[in-house]
Amino acid sequence: MTTQPTPCPDCARAEQNPDWGGYRAHCPECHARALAQSPAFFYSQNVRRLTHEYQGLLAACVDKDIAVAHERVKAWAERIQQTRQRKRAAQ
Ligand SMILES: [Zn+2]
Protein backbone atom coordinates (compact mmCIF):
# COMPACT_ATOMS: atom_id res chain seq x y z
CA MET A 1 0.00 0.00 0.00
CA THR A 2 1.37 3.38 -0.97
CA THR A 3 0.75 6.60 0.88
CA GLN A 4 -2.05 8.59 -0.69
CA PRO A 5 -1.04 12.11 -1.66
CA THR A 6 -3.05 15.02 -0.33
CA PRO A 7 -6.03 15.40 -2.64
CA CYS A 8 -6.13 18.44 -4.89
CA PRO A 9 -9.04 20.86 -4.30
CA ASP A 10 -11.10 19.27 -7.08
CA CYS A 11 -10.53 15.75 -5.77
CA ALA A 12 -11.49 16.97 -2.31
CA ARG A 13 -14.78 18.24 -3.78
CA ALA A 14 -15.23 14.93 -5.63
CA GLU A 15 -14.92 13.05 -2.35
CA GLN A 16 -18.08 14.86 -1.23
CA ASN A 17 -19.74 14.75 -4.66
CA PRO A 18 -18.22 12.17 -7.03
CA ASP A 19 -20.04 13.78 -9.96
CA TRP A 20 -18.00 16.97 -9.42
CA GLY A 21 -16.89 18.33 -12.82
CA GLY A 22 -13.63 20.06 -11.91
CA TYR A 23 -10.25 18.59 -12.83
CA ARG A 24 -6.58 19.59 -12.48
CA ALA A 25 -4.21 18.76 -15.31
CA HIS A 26 -1.36 17.43 -13.18
CA CYS A 27 -3.39 15.47 -10.62
CA PRO A 28 -3.35 11.67 -11.20
CA GLU A 29 -6.63 11.21 -9.34
CA CYS A 30 -8.33 13.87 -11.48
CA HIS A 31 -7.07 12.02 -14.53
CA ALA A 32 -8.67 8.80 -13.25
CA ARG A 33 -11.96 10.65 -12.58
CA ALA A 34 -11.91 12.21 -16.03
CA LEU A 35 -11.17 8.86 -17.67
CA ALA A 36 -14.11 7.32 -15.79
CA GLN A 37 -16.39 9.55 -17.86
CA SER A 38 -14.48 9.30 -21.14
CA PRO A 39 -15.72 7.72 -24.37
CA ALA A 40 -12.55 5.57 -24.38
CA PHE A 41 -13.49 3.97 -21.05
CA PHE A 42 -17.13 3.59 -22.08
CA TYR A 43 -16.16 1.82 -25.29
CA SER A 44 -13.60 -0.35 -23.51
CA GLN A 45 -16.26 -1.50 -21.04
CA ASN A 46 -18.69 -2.22 -23.87
CA VAL A 47 -16.27 -4.45 -25.74
CA ARG A 48 -15.05 -5.98 -22.46
CA ARG A 49 -11.38 -5.44 -23.07
CA LEU A 50 -8.82 -2.69 -22.61
CA THR A 51 -8.71 -1.06 -26.03
CA HIS A 52 -5.45 0.30 -27.38
CA GLU A 53 -6.73 3.87 -27.06
CA TYR A 54 -7.86 3.37 -23.46
CA GLN A 55 -4.59 1.67 -22.50
CA GLY A 56 -2.72 4.63 -23.95
CA LEU A 57 -4.76 7.02 -21.83
CA LEU A 58 -4.21 4.90 -18.72
CA ALA A 59 -0.47 4.77 -19.35
CA ALA A 60 -0.30 8.54 -19.75
CA CYS A 61 -2.15 9.16 -16.55
CA VAL A 62 -0.05 7.97 -13.67
CA ASP A 63 3.24 6.47 -12.65
CA LYS A 64 1.49 3.26 -11.64
CA ASP A 65 0.76 0.24 -13.75
CA ILE A 66 -2.21 0.14 -16.09
CA ALA A 67 -4.14 -2.45 -14.06
CA VAL A 68 -4.00 -0.26 -10.96
CA ALA A 69 -5.04 2.84 -12.91
CA HIS A 70 -7.91 0.88 -14.50
CA GLU A 71 -9.17 -0.16 -11.05
CA ARG A 72 -9.17 3.49 -9.95
CA VAL A 73 -11.08 4.53 -13.07
CA LYS A 74 -13.65 1.76 -12.49
CA ALA A 75 -14.05 2.77 -8.85
CA TRP A 76 -14.71 6.40 -9.86
CA ALA A 77 -17.11 5.32 -12.60
CA GLU A 78 -19.12 3.34 -10.06
CA ARG A 79 -19.19 6.20 -7.55
CA ILE A 80 -20.23 8.70 -10.25
CA GLN A 81 -22.96 6.35 -11.47
CA GLN A 82 -24.29 5.83 -7.94
CA THR A 83 -24.34 9.57 -7.33
CA ARG A 84 -26.31 10.19 -10.52
CA GLN A 85 -28.78 7.43 -9.67
CA ARG A 86 -29.35 8.94 -6.23
CA LYS A 87 -29.93 12.36 -7.82
CA ARG A 88 -32.43 10.90 -10.29
CA ALA A 89 -34.24 9.02 -7.54
CA ALA A 90 -34.54 12.24 -5.52
CA GLN A 91 -36.22 14.12 -8.37
ZN1 LIG B 1 -7.32 15.93 -8.37
pLDDT digits (tens, 9 = 90+) for 17-75: 999 999 998 898 999 999 999 999 999 999 999 999 999 999 877 666 889 899 999 99
pLDDT at 84 over 80: yes
Q: Distance, CA 88 to ligand 1 centroid (Å)?
A: 26
- Tell me the CA–centroid distance for residue 7 and ligand 1, in Å: 6
Tell me what pLDDT residue 63 has.
61
Confidence of residue 5 (pLDDT cuts 50, 70, 90): low
pLDDT of residue 91: 86
φ/ψ (deg, to 5) at 58? -65, -45
30 Cα–ligand 1 center, Å: 4
Q: Longest Cα pair distance anywhere in the chain, in angstroms?
A: 40
pTM across the whole model: 0.85
Helical residues (DSSP H) of the chain, grouped into ranges: 9-16, 28-36, 39-46, 52-61, 66-90
- Buried/exposed 28-44: b ≥16 CB within 10 Å, e otherwise: bbbbbbbbbbbebbeeb
CA 63 to ligand 1 centroid distance, Å: 15
> How many angstroms is it from 61 CA to the middle of ligand 1?
12
